[in-house]
């Protein structure tokens, strides 16, 4: 009998040790937990005044699984420098770590939701990594975390964000680097909020220079700087490893989001324009095309497109360009061809460039125009005369002009 009594007492103590709590209970770190009432789970609901400076939240507390960090749970914990969040937690609530002294943060891959202002003004944070598991990133989530210089994200497709209430509001994004999955840089450069980061790095080395030669003897233009006048003049030929190649293609996303671009000139050698090549160039007002035959404009394949909008659809070559105000200048006698060509026919103003001639070095009809050499380099801006130019062949408004 005595032996049976001992066994029953041991079993009773064991059961008491694993008893589930009800209501609200705090642990030795000063973390307060509240039971949800389902008998299975609890959440972090607050903190004691004497909280620890480094906190490790357990997956389970007194028999209940910890599944979330509630609103304002650690609000104003200015001495809290580090917190370890377990894989059992799936959400971080409103202002949960607002005004905390966090200097390091690891968001586990179990997290699906980060609430509004969750890390408001955590000035000690310098870098964050947001896993692909997060499907909801709340407004102002990292509001005024001015120390952040590095953000790493793991979404293959940029998460759609509210541009008016950015999670990164009042972060110096121009000086911060966004690290994204390989091959997704162009998509992030096109996405609202994400595109505002000063540097976007997908681990792929940028083409240097801005073009790449093919075995076919042709070159593809990947990028080009906008000059001080807001212009880009794509050269007819480029020299790569001491070999000259004609530029025949503008790559996918080549000039994407160059909002400073107001005028672009595409030489007659270009036969193809990639998807999203000029997407987001909302201030483009004049586009000069020198080809007698409209270059092919890549149509984004919705299933395979590398450039995607927030809704998952592909990005067109001139997406975001105001085709009502941007004037498309085409060679003399080709306007009708461009008005019927896919992509080009979307432009409301298609005008033909005059077949200019120069008489004794003076432009006909008092014309004022830019002058380019045969490599596509601008040699005169707003010229009215050719008298001071060396003898040779020049490109003026898409036509060759010989100066003798």
> Which residues does 314 contact at the CB level (< 8 Å), separation at least 6?
275, 299, 300, 301, 302, 305, 307, 308
15 inside domain: no
34 membership: H or E segment, kind and range: strand 31-35
3-state SS class at 374: coil
340 inside domain: yes
Q: What is the predicted pLDDT for the residue at 9?
A: 44
Q: What is the predicted pLDDT for the residue at 301?
A: 54
Q: What is the predicted pLDDT for the residue at 372?
A: 73
Same domain, 106 and 138: yes
Q: Per 3-state DSSP, what percentage of the chain is helix, strand, and coil (rounded to 5)?
A: 10, 30, 60
Same domain, 180 and 282: no
From CA 95, how far away is CA 394, in angstroms rounded? 64
Closest CA to 96 of 68, 56, 124, 131: 68
Q: What is the predicted pLDDT for the residue at 367?
A: 53
Same domain, 192 and 79: yes
* CATH number of the domain encompassing residue 57: 3.80.10.10
What domain count does the chain have?
A: 3
pLDDT along the chain (404 residues), means of 10: 45 49 95 96 97 97 97 97 97 98 96 98 96 97 96 96 93 93 90 93 68 75 87 86 86 90 93 91 93 87 44 71 94 91 93 59 52 69 70 67 67
Identify the domain containing residue 141 by its residue range.
21-201
Same domain, 72 and 102: yes
Phi and psi for 78 in degrees, rounded to 5?
A: -70, -20
Q: Indicate the pTM of the whole model.
A: 0.52
Same domain, 327 and 398: no
């Amino acid at each position: 009998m005595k032996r049976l009594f001992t066994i029953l007492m041991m079993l009773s103590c064991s059961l008491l040790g694993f008893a589930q709590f009800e209501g609200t209970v705090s642990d030795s770190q000063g973390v307060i937990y509240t039971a949800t009432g389902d008998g299975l789970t609890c959440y972090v609901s607050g903190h004691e005044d004497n909280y620890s400076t480094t906190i490790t939240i357990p997956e389970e507390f007194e028999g209940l699984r910890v599944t979330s960090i509630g609103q304002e749970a650690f609000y104003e914990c200015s001495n809290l420098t580090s917190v370890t969040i377990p894989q059992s937690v799936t959400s971080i609530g409103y202002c949960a770590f607002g005004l905390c002294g966090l200097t390091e943060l690891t968001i586990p891959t179990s997290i699906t939701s980060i609430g509004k202002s969750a890390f408001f003004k955590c000035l000690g944070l310098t870098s964050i990594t947001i896993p692909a598991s997060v499907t909801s990133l709340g407004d102002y989530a990292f509001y005024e975390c001015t120390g952040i210089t590095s953000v790493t994200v793991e979404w293959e497709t940029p998460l759609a964000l509210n541009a008016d209430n950015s999670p990164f509001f009042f972060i110096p994004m121009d000086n911060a680097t966004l690290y994204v999955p390989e091959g997704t840089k162009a998509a992030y450069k096109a996405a609202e909020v994400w595109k505002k980061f000063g540097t976007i790095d997908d681990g792929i080395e940028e083409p240097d220079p801005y073009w790449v030669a093919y075995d076919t003897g042709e070159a593809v233009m990947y990028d080009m700087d906008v000059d001080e006048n807001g212009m880009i003049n794509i050269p007819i030929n480029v020299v790569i490893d001491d070999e000259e190649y004609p530029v025949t293609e503008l790559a996918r996303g080549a000039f994407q989001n160059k909002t400073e671009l107001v005028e672009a000139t595409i030489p007659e050698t270009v036969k193809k324009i990639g998807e999203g090549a000029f997407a987001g160039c909302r201030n483009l007002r004049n586009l000069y095309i020198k080809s007698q035959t409209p270059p092919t404009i890549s149509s984004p394949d919705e299933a395979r497109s590398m450039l995607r909008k927030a809704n998952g659809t592909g990005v067109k070559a001139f997406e975001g360009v105001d085709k009502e105000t941007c004037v498309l200048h085409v060679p003399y006698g080709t306007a009708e061809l461009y008005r019927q060509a896919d992509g080009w026919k979307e432009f409301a103003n298609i005008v033909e460039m005059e077949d200019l001639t120069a008489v004794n070095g003076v432009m006909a009809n008092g014309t004022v125009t830019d002058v380019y050499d045969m490599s596509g380099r601008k040699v005169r801006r707003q010229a009215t005369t050719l008298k001071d130019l060396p003898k040779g062949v020049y490109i003026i408004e898409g036509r060759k002009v010989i100066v003798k």
